[in-house]
């Protein structure tokens, strides 16, 4: 089963995203900030797709993307930013850091799944 | 501004920061969302169970069969609606929490005593805390209104 790594500092968002992704046939790993995300990758988790928020404590989304791109196993893993930020400047910053795509909250469950399925079909 | 007035304003900011922080911390509705997700998971399981029961039943009653199909369709529709509702509410709550976070940070900085009142925090400092374009648009509208 493909693994999706979800990073968000909101427990409710993590719960919601996990539920939607698990219901669509994905295995879900979660973290409450970028540092926890990097730690998960260090534990050997190999996600097929990473969903990350931008504004998080300790290590934010941009910082996480930069660090994840330095790790061999996630150098080319699709990283989707899911955030309340819709501004072009932040988007450019995330793209420059290595983000593959962008979803602005509020997003619909189908919208989210359609993006994830395009990148990694559930088995 | 007198020293006593500055100290009083900082005290008000500190109190407000604590109050908004308490409000933000109460915004966590994980238990309600957990119940919603469990309900949708239960609906999904019941739907599957209905299908399994029908497949293993020797008695094929066309009326029951039609009702089963209708029930499964209805369950799927309600499940989809619940999913959308819960996801939308979770995102709204997250957004409200982030705005509250921004207000707390601003008030905490304004409560700091090292700088004279009125100089410790500017509207540009506040703008740097925003997490969405909606906040920036609102900020610009207020600045424009206050300057006109």
Model ipTM?
0.76
pLDDT by residue for chain B (148 residues), tens only, comes to 566 777 788 899 999 999 999 988 887 667 787 788 888 888 888 888 888 887 777 777 888 888 888 988 898 899 888 888 888 888 888 888 888 988 999 999 888 866 665 666 788 888 888 888 888 888 999 999 998 8
Of A19, A83, A107, Cβ closest to residue B37: A19
CA distances from B28 to A15, A37, A59 (A): 12, 22, 22
DSSP A79: E
CB B87 within 8 A of CB A109: yes
Neighbours of A37 (CB within 10 A): 30
B132–A85 C-beta distance less than 8 A: yes
Beta carbons of A8 and A56 less than 8 angstroms apart:
yes
On chain A, the residues whose CB falls within 8 A of the CB of B136 are 87
Calpha distance A121→A1 (Å, rounded): 10
The whole-angstrom distance between B91's CA and the closest CA on chain A is 6
SS3 A1: coil
Q: Do B136 and A85 touch (CB under 8 A)?
A: no
**CATH, domain A3-119, list 3.50.50.60, 3.40.250.10, 3.40.50.2300, 3.30.413.10:** 3.40.50.2300
Domain residue extents for chain B? 3-147
- Within 8 A of A112 by CB-CB distance, chain B residues are 87
- Please, are residues A45 and A29 in contact by the beta-carbon 8 Å criterion? yes
Nearest CA in chain B to A12: B30
């Amino acid at each position: 089963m493909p693994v999706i790594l979800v990073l968000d500092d909101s427990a409710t968002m993590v719960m919601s995203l996990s539920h939607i992704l698990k219901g669509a046939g994905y295995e879900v790993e979660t973290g409450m900030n970028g540092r926890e995300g990097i730690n998960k990758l260090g534990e050997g988790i190999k996600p097929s797709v990473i969903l990350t928020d931008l504004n998080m404590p300790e290590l934010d989304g941009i910082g996480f993307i930069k660090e994840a791109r330095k790790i061999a196993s996630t150098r080319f893993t699709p990283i989707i930013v899911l955030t309340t930020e819709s501004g072009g400047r932040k988007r450019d910053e995330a793209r420059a850091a290595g983000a593959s795509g962008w979803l602005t909250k509020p997003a619909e469950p189908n919208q989210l799944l359609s993006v994830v399925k395009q990148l990694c079909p559930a088995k | 501004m007198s020293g006593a007035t500055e100290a009083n304003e900082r005290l008000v900011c500190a109190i407000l920061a604590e109050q908004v922080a308490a409000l933000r911390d109460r915004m966590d509705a994980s238990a309600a969302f957990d119940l919603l997700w469990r309900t949708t998971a239960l609906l999904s399981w019941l739907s599957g169970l209905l299908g399994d029961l029908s497949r293993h039943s020797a008695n094929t009653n066309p009326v029951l069969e039609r009702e089963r199909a209708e029930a499964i369709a209805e369950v799927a529709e309600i499940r989809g609606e619940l999913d959308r509702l819960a996801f939308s509410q979770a995102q709204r709550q997250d957004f409200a929490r982030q705005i509250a976070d921004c207000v707390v940070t601003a008030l905490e900085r304004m409560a700091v005593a090292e700088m004279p009142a009125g100089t410790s925090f500017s509207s540009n400092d506040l703008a740097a805390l925003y997490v969405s374009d909606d906040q920036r648009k609102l900020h610009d509208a207020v600045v424009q209104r206050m300057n006109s």
